[in-house]
Amino acid sequence: MATFAKTTFNAISYAAFRPTYPPALYKTILTYHHEPFTTLLDLGCGHGLISRSLSSHFTSILATDPSSSMIAQARTSTEYSNIQFRQASAENLNFIEDGSLDMVVAGQAAHWFDYSKVWPELSRKVRKGGTLAFWGYKDNIFVDYPAATQVLDEYCYGENTMGPFWEQPGRRILRDLYRDIVPPEGEWEGVQRVEYEPALQGEGKAKGTGEVLMSRRLKLGEVEGYVRTF
């Protein structure tokens, strides 16, 4: 996460304009998990959104991010005494006891991981029967305004705009719905994927395929603020 890890990255703006996750998403994850609910690791925690949302479900939460500015922003909220924020990468979890994690989550971060290092780390640190949950969202789709979607897509991925500047393969992995993230065979059981691909035809047309877990209506200024977090 070289870009987000820079000390100049505006974590305050990121926290203000990035979307929150709905209760349905957390319910899906928590329903899948089997007790105990003792220790959760939140990888790429950013400004701490997921850790705070899950704090009432776990005894202890360790939230890590390689960005010092993200961790500083996360620590501005002091009301959650069971969350420990720490600057660290997903590729090095030596500070965690082997077999001590009940669940590991990563929201909008797993596409940046180096899995040649992350899979071995998680295999050691997660207890037998523990849960791993990665999720992400790719690009804003204006379901009622397909022409606006085309404008945003050209701005984000056009050859003469932002297209050449995205970190790869991370962005491609995200846009491909995490299908490249495959746990080592024989080490993780019960793998489930939940995908949604929105339709692009506009108002009154088909709304896409798959299960919708996350949507939001935005004002134009909020769209601008979100795009600026890129």
- Euclidean distance between CA atoms 56 and 82, whole angstroms: 9
Got the DSSP string for 99-127? T-EEEEEEES-GGG--HHHHHHHHHHHEE
Beta strands 126-135 and 101-107, pairing class: parallel
pLDDT of 199 reads 78
Q: Which residue has better confidence, 210 or 4?
A: 210
Q: Which residues pair with 197 in a beta bridge?
A: 209
Ramachandran region, residue 109 (left: φ > 0; alpha: ψ -120 to 50; beta: rest) = alpha
pLDDT digits (tens, 9 = 90+) for 34-83: 999 999 999 999 999 999 999 999 999 999 999 999 999 999 988 899 99
Is the CB of residue 105 less than 8 Å from the CB of residue 54?
Answer: yes
- Euclidean distance between CA atoms 143 and 23, whole angstroms: 22
pLDDT digits (tens, 9 = 90+) for 103-156: 999 999 999 999 999 999 999 999 999 999 999 988 888 888 889 999 999 999
Nearest of 126, 136, 122 to residue 183 by alpha carbon? 122
Nearest of 140, 167, 166, 171 to residue 153 by alpha carbon? 140
pTM over 0.85: yes
Structural domains of the chain ordered from first start:
11-228 (3.40.50.150)
- Euclidean distance between CA atoms 33 and 101, whole angstroms: 12
Q: Which residues pair with 61 in a beta bridge?
A: 40, 83
Is the CB of residue 164 less than 8 Å from the CB of residue 154?
Answer: no
DSSP 37: -
